[in-house]
């Protein structure tokens, strides 16, 4: 052998290459996992900034950012009281702005990052928008519709499924809500 490549007719050399590739695959997968987890935290931090704006405006502190191709295209925070609008949840506001930004009523392939698990109205809207993925911070055990009280993410009777990553920066997201209600007492 002068080429420096292993002779694939040699079973042992062949297996060595296969093993090497599978090790590389693991490194690759691991790197991808770390990258995705960093990305999720980064976008969740932006959603937390939105929630802080809601807090400052005396609204229940929930924030959301809409991401398309790894870029934030819209932001929203709870504004129901200020706008006298029961539908003005963080997710709905982000979706409305996102639709305008993409000039499309469907946001196929986009992802939303929300500090708190969405309610049934918002989950309905995310499904209508054909969102690819929902990432949220803390579960809402009273009204959540993405796994706690209801689960509209994978209901077979609906015509769209949405991928979910829960509990990203859970502590920070939950803390804001707890501080808010403590300040109301
Ligand atoms: Zn909602």
Each residue of 31-59: pLDDT tens digit? 778 878 889 999 999 999 999 999 999 99
Give pTM, 2 decimals: 0.85
Query: Percentage of the chain with pLDDT > 90?
Result: 75
pLDDT at 2: 45
Residue 16 is a catalytic residue = no
Comparing 126 with 30, which gets the higher pLDDT? 126
Centre of ligand 1 from the C-alpha of residue 4, in Å: 61
| Candidate list 91, 117, 156, 170, residue with the active-site label | 91
* Residue 74 CA to ligand 1 centre (angstroms): 16
Residue 35's Cβ-count burial label (10 Å; 0-12, 13-18, 19+) is: exposed
Q: If you measure from the C-alpha of residue 26 to the centroid of ligand 1, how many angstroms do you get, rounded to a whole number?
A: 38
Share of the chain above pLDDT 70, in %: 88
pLDDT at 12: 67
pLDDT for residue 16:
63
The predicted structure's pLDDT at residue 107: 97
DSSP 151: B
DSSP assignments along 43-85, one per residue: HHHHHHHHHHHHHHTTS---EEEEEETTEEEEEEE--HHHHT-
- Give, as residue ranges, everything with CB less than 5 Å from ion ligand 1: 89, 119, 122
Identify the residue whose tokens are 């639709």. Answer: 99
> How far, in Å, CA of 104 to CA of 148, rounded?
31
Taking the centre of ligand 1 as the mean of its atom positions, its distance from the CA of residue 125, in whole angstroms, is 9
Q: What is the pLDDT of residue 7?
A: 54
CA distance 172 to 185: 21
CA 73-79-84 angle, to 5 degrees, is 135
| Model pLDDT for residues 107-118, shown as the tens digit of each residue | 999 999 999 999
């Amino acid at each position: 052998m002068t080429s420096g490549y292993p002779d694939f007719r040699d079973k042992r050399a062949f297996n060595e290459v296969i093993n090497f590739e599978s090790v590389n695959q693991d490194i690759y997968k691991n790197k991808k996992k770390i990258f995705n987890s960093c990305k999720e935290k980064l976008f969740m931090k932006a959603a937390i900034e939105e929630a802080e704006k809601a807090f400052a405006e005396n609204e229940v502190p929930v924030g959301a950012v809409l991401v398309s191709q790894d870029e934030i295209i819209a932001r929203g925070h709870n504004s129901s009281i200020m706008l006298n609008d029961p539908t003005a949840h963080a997710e709905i506001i982000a979706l409305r702005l996102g639709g305008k930004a993409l000039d499309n009523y469907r946001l196929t392939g986009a992802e939303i990052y929300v500090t708190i698990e969405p309610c049934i109205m918002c989950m309905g809207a995310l499904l209508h928008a054909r969102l690819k993925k929902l990432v949220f911070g803390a579960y809402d055990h009273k009204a959540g519709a993405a796994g706690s009280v209801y689960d509209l993410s994978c209901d077979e009777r609906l015509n769209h499924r949405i991928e979910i990553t829960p509990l990203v920066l859970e502590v920070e997201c939950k803390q804001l809500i707890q501080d808010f209600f403590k300040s109301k007492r």
